[in-house]
Homo-oligomer: A and B are copies of this chain.
Amino acid sequence: MINRLIDKIQKTGAPIVVGLDPMMKFVPGYIKQAAFKEYGETLEGAAEAIWQYNKGIVDAIYDLVPAVKPQVAMYEQFGIPGMIAFKKTVDYCKEKGLVVIGDIKRGDIGSTSEAYAVGHLGKVQVGSNSFYGFDEDFVTVNPYLGSDGITPFLKVCDEEKKGIIVLVKTSNPSSGEFQDQLVNGKPLYEIVGEKVAQWGAEHMPESGNYSYVGAVVGATYPEQGKVLRKIMPNTFILVPGYGAQGGKGADLVHFFNEDGLGAIINSSRGIIAAYQQEQYAKFGETGYADASRAAVLDMKTDIENALNSR
């Protein structure tokens, strides 16, 4: 799956992942009204609204980008109907040929970690049958519990040729509270990065330079990104924090390798709620999906320019 992601990045020329993090305040009024008319102002109504909203965006951008990253929390908040909308979104994106990164940030140990791995990347056994539960291509994973939490995922990654993306240095202002603590002069996120590189070295696909184990490093920390890029040369880096969180194109160059690969930049509300920004207001509410398409194209240019001028 890492090689499929790379192949799609090269074909689209866009190292971009669109974060499908639907909030009700992003969903155009006419979509909400239609959903509420059918299901009422209920969890089912909310789930229908975010699903229709997602579908419009995916239809408008699927040929431009290699991947999407649905944030499960935005679905999980609507209970069971929300989880159904999550699954429909994952399935629909895969039908459209997109690589799906489930932003689930799960992390547990032993058999529990294995259950998450099986539920989101692999197949669960039921009697003599087996089934995919949610079936993403990659998932994000929290490293706080150490190797016991990661190893069960890696087993499933090997079986399914899928991948995990481990939180190393997150994009938020307080990420330093624990991640930047110095251990013998070295920040904790570097120690996590070294582990990611090690896990990755043990889980490489049959061909290619990048392992099944990716890393999350926030666009808001470009200097740290530069260091981590060196510590994890064969790790694909998922970079959140571009756009709404303040990261700029020029900050991104350090996350890429010399081969122009090795990073994929996420934008969520900057793309999916583009129509609510002044720059794309001309598209109006009913043109929200076209606004998202325009925002993807602008982001692609911004990254291209940044990479060309390095």
Chain B residues whose C-beta falls within 8 Å of the C-beta of A183 in the assembled complex: 181-183, 188
Closest to A23 in B: B111
A82 within 8 A of B: yes
The smallest C-beta distance from A41 to any residue of chain B, in angstroms, reads: 3
Let me know if A172 and B188 touch, CB within 8 A: no
Let me know if B147 and A174 touch, CB within 8 A: yes
Chain B residues whose C-beta falls within 8 Å of the C-beta of A182 in the assembled complex: 183-184
A24 within 8 A of B: yes
Let me know if B144 and A172 touch, CB within 8 A: no
A113 within 8 A of B: yes
How many residues of chain A get a CB closer than 8 Å to chain B's CBs? 73
Q: Mark A50-93, 1 if CB is under 8 A from B, else 0.
A: 00000000000000000000010110111110111001000000
Q: Mark A167-192, 1 if CB is under 8 A from B, else 0.
A: 10011111111110111100010011
A119 within 8 A of B: yes
Let me know if B41 and A133 touch, CB within 8 A: no
A10 within 8 A of B: no
Task: Given A82-B133, A107-B105, A178-B191, verify A24-B148 contact (CB < 8 Å).
Answer: no
A-B contact pairs, 27 of them (CB 8 A): A23-B111, A41-B129, A42-B131, A43-B131, A46-B126, A71-B112, A73-B108, A76-B116, A77-B115, A77-B116, A78-B124, A78-B126, A78-B131, A78-B133, A79-B119, A79-B131, A79-B132, A79-B134, A80-B83, A80-B84, A82-B119, A105-B108, A109-B170, A145-B175, A147-B174, A181-B188, A181-B191
Instruction: Point out residues on A near B: beta carbons under 8 Å.
Output: 21, 23-24, 32, 36, 41-43, 45-46, 71, 73-74, 76-80, 82-84, 87, 105-113, 115-116, 118-120, 124-129, 131-134, 142-149, 167, 170-179, 181-184, 188, 191-192, 195
